[in-house]
Structure 1
Amino acid sequence: MTAVTALSLAQATKLVLRAQGLHKPLGKGVKGTLEAVSRLGYVQIDSISVIQRAHHHTLWNRVVGYHPEHLDTLIADKQVFEYWSHAAAYLPMRDYRFSLPRKQAIAAGDKHWFNRDDHGRLMQEIRARITAEGPLMARDFEQPRKGTAGWWDWKPAKRALEQLFMEGELMAVERRGFQKVYDLAERVLPDGLDTSVPSEREYLEYLIRRFLSANALAKPEQCIYLLKGMQTPLKQAVAEMLEEGTLVSVDVSGESYLALAGIEEGLRQRLPAGRIRILSPFDNLLIQRKRMQSLFGFGYQLECYVPEPKRQYGYFVLPIMFGSRFVGRMDVKAERKAGELLIKHLHIEQPLSEKILLALRAELQAFCEFNRMQHLRIDRISFSGRDAGTEKQVRDYLLG
């Protein structure tokens, strides 16, 4: 097949969704969970818990029969570790060495959240205690103040622990109640793991390949999302990889993107149609909002960070995708005491068909079960533009 130099938007979105594993599962059980983390390169962790947490939601959408215990197993088996990607994330252990440049930079004085010099002595004391006693949590060092939340309220021991974690001295062996349990990195890393520090070129090539493997297409800057000081070396690495033929340049509706050589193979494969996916706001597909607008024509903002009077759709809004189109979004909350999944606001953005409604009803039921809720309730439904279905008819159908 001749190398592709231009793609339609439909072809581009097909390749992106294939790479993301959203409509064709990446596997099942523990093995599938590892395959998903490895394919995506990372899975973002977030503290919001109005429904099942983001990392579990992202994996549930890609792994048949996924349960949170599958991720716990991979962490215990030292196949996945926790660190920082563009945000807190779970990453495949095989990529551990590529976390070292950031760790070394922070240890050398780059600021993550805190200034290293403010906690130097306490860091030594904490490391000595974990060395002697084994894995410990922040609460093993101090009693937290009542009513506090957020990193700006962390006491010195918690800050010192996180600094040691970011520098790579400590790693998280598990989470209990969403709180990290820390141990020495040398006791956590599996035997035989490559811990050599990559060169700048190796690191950049890793970032480029990781992004393109998971996303099919990228503008160069998307490969180093939220990483500082890398634009100039990135340009050089991209130019060299294009010259070598490991990267190709592809036109999508007048916009230039990078892709790995051989991308045309993905066009031969069928993308399953008719599937609904309810996505986490922190799903890998959605992380870069401008990219979503360009490729999918979907504008999205997580409004939990927006003052309530200015919210358009709600506090924790989940995008709804049908095939390769975004057809709506819903503000949702798990009412755990009542065992009820509450859709506070379902907003439909595309003309409804019976096929879409049938797929959405089935996926809502599966989403209830994933969140361990027994019932579904819908408070409000709204529509963009004209739609044949009334609010009552749609509600009755989805709850029927």
Structure 2
Amino acid sequence: MQLTKKQARQFILIHQMIMPPRKLMGKEGVLQYIHHAGCIQFDPLNVVGYNPYLVLQSRIENFKSEYLQELLYSDRKLLDGWDKNMSIYSIEDWPYFSRYREEAYQRYGDGSSPINKILPKVREALNRNGPLSSIDLNFDTMVDWSWAPTRAARAALESMYYWGELIIHHKVGTRKVYDFTKKHLPSELLSLPDPNTTMEQYFEWHVKRRIKAVGLLWGRPSDAWLGIRWMKSNECIEALSRLEKKGEVLRIEVEDIKYPFYILKEEAPLLHEVLNGVDVEPQASFIAPLDNLLWDRKLIKEIFGFEYVWEVYKPVSERKYGYYVLPVLYGDRFVARFEPKFDKKIGKLNIINWWWEPDMIVSKEMEKALIQCFKQFLEYLGATGVQFNNGSILTI
């Protein structure tokens, strides 16, 4: 079954719930998207909101950060956890990550661990005082840790979190405050066994999860496969082959691309809808740097003709665009990118620079859609206006 590149773009964007954008509503919309995608990626940088907020503002009408905070730390329907790096996913996924917790306990929880001596004192402090962060504990001894020497208090709390004894109770900015998992998650959930009893089953489950997170995915190495522990490239290809034989994924060809793509069998109705032709009025949206849509940037370059590199960790002299740059989507094409900065003191969104894609022709319809998108984005930020450093591009 072959798709044109336009059909492939439409399939991915409809699957991603951003064609059209901002059609989900409230906390239920947040849950709907995260259940649909499996997880969204967290990153501690906050230029115009954390990455999860940026992911959700393009899909949720009048998104507010409180929606996500409440679902994580009041309603306890979502969890901070490790999947595609630091992520947010549904509590129902807890049993599927048993392997990660078991590995963490084997690595950090044995008697030879440098944190072993203080663990009873950490547990006592949590029982006595309730949720704590590392700055609330006076264990200032430095220990050699997996990334670098660090305070014993931090190493202990993070290790207990990795093996599942603790969860993140809440955050103060990016500082994690921990509490005992058993206080906040149902005992029935915590007692569930890992549904994947073999490594092959685990690979197949996680491969399907990644396809679901993106919509249309190939077997080529990419950032989309990050976080699937123990899986190498050949094991990914083997898992895809087994899933295809079992009919759990469907192989798709895209014009002028030699590599095959895969979708979940549940997406067959959407595939046929796209093949029969979709007619959606083009709208604009600003896309997060670590949006699920952009997890495989080689795929985006092939299908969308858009090359995107997140340049935050590049030296200034090596950046082609800017520090924290957001792609701009209009209809089924990326039409521009811009570097924003939110000045909270004066309540203004500053556009440091704006770059149209080559040969872009800006129609009146596109301009209206971008103005509407900016209005939504300002409301999301709580900004009172937008100003362009290099001259006004749009009148808001």
Work out whether residues 26 and 35 of structure 1, in 8 Å CA contact, stay in contact via their aligned partners in 2. Answer: no
Cα gap change, 1:262 to 1:49, in 2 (>3 Å): closer
Q: 1:29, CA displacement in angstroms?
A: 0.9
2:53 match: 56
Q: 1:91, CA displacement in angstroms?
A: 0.6
Q: For the residues of structure 2 that align with 1:287 and 1:238, how far apart are their CA atoms?
A: 18
Q: 1:32, CA displacement in angstroms?
A: 1.0
- Deviation digits for residues 243-262 of structure 1, max 9, x if unmatched? 22122211112320122225
2:94 match: 96
Cα gap change, 1:142 to 1:354, in 2 (>3 Å): farther
1:399 match: 395
Greater shift in the superposed pair: 74-83 or 233-242? 233-242
* Structure 1 stretches of at least 4 aligned residues deviating more than 6 Å after TM superposition: none
Cα gap change, 1:80 to 1:226, in 2 (>3 Å): closer
Q: 1:209, CA displacement in angstroms?
A: 2.4
Work out whether residues 302 and 316 of structure 1, in 8 Å CA contact, stay in contact via their aligned partners in 2. Answer: yes
- Deviation digits for residues 129-158 of structure 1, max 9, x if unmatched? 2234321122211499xxxxxx85852211
Q: 1:278, CA displacement in angstroms?
A: 0.6
Work out whether residues 23 and 271 of structure 1, in 8 Å CA contact, stay in contact via their aligned partners in 2. Answer: no
Work out whether residues 316 and 331 of structure 1, in 8 Å CA contact, stay in contact via their aligned partners in 2. Answer: yes
1:299-318 to 2 correspondence within 5 Å? Answer: 299-318=307-326
2:156 match: 160
Other structure's SS at 2:340 match:
strand
1:59-208 to 2 correspondence within 5 Å? Answer: 59-75=56-72, 76-109=74-107, 117-142=113-138, 154-193=150-189, 195-197=192-194, 198-199=196-197, 200-208=199-207
Work out whether residues 39 and 88 of structure 2, in 8 Å CA contact, stay in contact via their aligned partners in 1. Answer: yes
Query: What's the % identity of the aligned pairs?
Result: 24
Work out whether residues 39 and 213 of structure 2, in 8 Å CA contact, stay in contact via their aligned partners in 1. Answer: no
Q: 1:376, CA displacement in angstroms?
A: 0.6
Q: 1:375, CA displacement in angstroms?
A: 1.5
Answer yes or no: is 1:256 the counterpart of 2:260: yes
Greater shift in the superposed pair: 124-133 or 55-64? 124-133
Unaligned runs of at least 5 residues, structure 1 = 145-150, 381-391
Q: 1:367, CA displacement in angstroms?
A: 1.0
Answer yes or no: is 1:276 the counterpart of 2:274: no
Give the partner amino acid of 2:84. H
Other structure's SS at 1:338 match:
coil
Q: For the residues of structure 1 that align with 2:368 and 2:162, how far apart are their CA atoms?
A: 46
Q: For the residues of structure 2 that align with 1:227 and 1:324, how far apart are their CA atoms?
A: 30
Other structure's SS at 1:303 match:
coil
Give the partner amino acid of 2:31. L
Q: For the residues of structure 2 that align with 1:143 and 1:378, how far apart are their CA atoms?
A: 48
Work out whether residues 78 and 190 of structure 1, in 8 Å CA contact, stay in contact via their aligned partners in 2. Answer: no
Q: For the residues of structure 2 that align with 1:123 and 1:290, how far apart are their CA atoms?
A: 45
Cα gap change, 1:369 to 1:18, in 2 (>3 Å): same
Work out whether residues 342 and 378 of structure 1, in 8 Å CA contact, stay in contact via their aligned partners in 2. Answer: yes
Work out whether residues 26 and 36 of structure 1, in 8 Å CA contact, stay in contact via their aligned partners in 2. Answer: no
1:36 match: 33
- Deviation digits for residues 76-108 of structure 1, max 9, x if unmatched? 222101111122111111111122211212222
Greater shift in the superposed pair: 18-27 or 351-360? 18-27
Match of 1:354 among 335, 349, 364: 364
Give the partner amino acid of 2:58. N
TM-score, L = length of structure 1: 0.86
TM-score, L = length of structure 2: 0.87
Give the partner amino acid of 1:16. I
1:218-257 to 2 correspondence within 5 Å? Answer: 218-220=217-219, 224-231=225-232, 232-253=234-255, 254-257=258-261
Other structure's SS at 1:355 match:
helix
Unaligned runs of at least 5 residues, structure 2 = 141-146
Other structure's SS at 2:186 match:
coil
Q: 1:110, CA displacement in angstroms?
A: 8.2
Work out whether residues 206 and 228 of structure 2, in 8 Å CA contact, stay in contact via their aligned partners in 1. Answer: no
Q: 1:117, CA displacement in angstroms?
A: 2.4
2:384 match: 374
Give the partner amino acid of 1:109. R
Q: How many residues align?
A: 372
CA RMSD, 1 decimal: 2.4
